[in-house]
Amino acid sequence: MAQQVKAVIARAKGAPVEVTTIVVPDPGPGEAVVRIQACGVCHTDLHYREGGINDEFPFLLGHEAAGIVESVGEGVTEVEPGDFVVLNWRAVCGQCRACKRGRPQYCFNTHNAKQKMTLLDGTELSPALGIGAFAEKTLVAAGQCTKVDPAAEPAVAGLLGCGVMAGLGAAINTGGVGRGDSVAVIGCGGVGGAAVMGSRLAGAAKIIAVDIDDRKLETARKLGATHTVNSRTTDAVEAIRELTGGNGADVVVEAVGRPETYKQAFYARDLAGTVVLVGVPTPEMTLELPLLDVFGRGGALKSSWYGDCLPSRDFPMLIDLYLQGRLDLGAFVTETIELDAVEQAFERMHHGDVLRSVVVL
Ligand SMILES: NC(=O)c1ccc[n+]([C@@H]2O[C@H](COP(=O)([O-])OP(=O)(O)OC[C@H]3O[C@@H](n4cnc5c(N)ncnc54)[C@H](O)[C@@H]3O)[C@@H](O)[C@H]2O)c1
Ligand SMILES: [Zn+2]
Ligand SMILES: [Zn+2]
């Protein structure tokens, strides 16, 4: 029996989000219905609402979620009803050229539920990142459910489903930060803050947090930054170079998604250093750099989708570190809110008042 549940949708470009009733079908082959317990508010949800991702309105927003598997469809073996799971947007296929080469973290053919959730009038919804979890229940592909230790707080665990994983992975997986490295992180919201935390976890010797908002720099210190730079008042490139013996950082993570901050990252890294772009640009943005500088500085210019994570490998491990007190994922939960407060949470995010607001159901 299809079920009717409450959910948050974005009906049209720029219009405030609204709570409405949606229809969630029974899980078909390879699918699962998950009762959502918590879902973080990510900048990408706002990008969807503003039409910055695509035009497939109405969107069912929310994608940083944890919950309990309620039912599974035919052929599902990886999870069963009652499992505590974090939802992921990288259900790997096992068949594409990346998977076949043993690099499933780059899977080029990830999958989502085949059936559509709808409005009461039958209008099909586009779930954000194939998840759609600002909802009492959602339908996903079973591979999007990653089992983790149920001792973890849902509001905390869910954050691994997107931004926090993206930031941790940008440093650890994509940037390859290691013991003794110097790291600079430009933009210290939820994603950049997690890159700071990941750098500390990986043993970085120097972690320079850069933001235009002093409140973010203060939290970045708590998350592990050894130095902070307010780039509204100080030249970020000069400051990072000064703090690294005039050389630049081994790894610079750009977690804003703008050409000017990318340029800062490019010039703030040491020779043969690595730039990781984890911030998401919008379609009209372009970048101009002297090609000779690209060549002459050597090293690597990388981008990081989802922190190059493999959910089945990374989520349970990070949750274990959190439960052992070795990774303070709880620091990202600024506030917990109800389903009908997502619009206000966007406002607070826009004003930089929060790392993460988390809807708790
Ligand atoms: N690559 C991925 O897989 C992935 C996943 C999730 C989010 N993201 C993207 O990461 C970016 C950050 O997301 P978030 O949730 O942390 O957002 P956020 O709004 O919480 O954080 C952005 C931070 O950047 C700072 N900032 C803005 N302009 C700046 C500038 N010119 N210089 C320095 N700092 C500046 C803000 O003060 C804020 O602290 C977004 O573009 C988001 O879409 C990427
Ligand atoms: Zn694949
Ligand atoms: Zn996200």
The Cα 354–Cα 250 span in angstroms is 29
Confidence (pLDDT) at 358: 98
Nearby residues for ligand 3 (ion, Cβ within 5 Å): 42, 44, 162-163
Give the span between the Cα atoms of 80 and 93, in whole angstroms: 20
Q: 182-186 and 118-119 as β-strands: parallel, antiparallel, unpaired?
A: unpaired
H or E segment at 194? helix 190-201
**pLDDT tens, residue by residue, 186-225:** 999 999 999 999 999 999 999 999 999 999 999 999 999 9
Measured in Å, residue 115 CA sits from the centre of ligand 3 at 22
Q: Which helix (H) or strand (E) holds 271?
A: strand 269-277
Does 76 score more than 90 pLDDT? yes
- pLDDT-based confidence at 62, cuts 50/70/90? very high
Give me ligand 1 centre to Cα 291, in Å. 27
pLDDT at 61: 98
Sole residue written with tokens 């497939």: 56
- Name residues contacting ligand 1 (CB within 6 A): 42-44, 47, 162-163, 166, 186-192, 210-213, 216, 231, 255-257, 261, 278-280, 304-306, 349, 352
CA of 111 to the centre of ligand 3 (A): 17
Give the position, in ligand 1's atom list, of the atom nearest the Cα of 355: 20
pLDDT at 253 over 90: yes
- For residue range 11-55, list pLDDT tens digits in order: 999 899 999 999 999 999 999 999 999 999 999 999 999 998 899
Contact between residue 121 and residue 28 where contact means Cβ atoms under 8 Å apart: no
Residue from 39, 223, 256 whose mutation best tests the ligand 1 pocket (most atoms within 8 A of CB): 256
What pLDDT score was predicted for residue 1? 83
d(CA 211, CA 65): 27
Position 263 pLDDT exceeds 90: yes
pLDDT tens figures, 316-343: 999 999 999 999 999 999 999 999 999 9
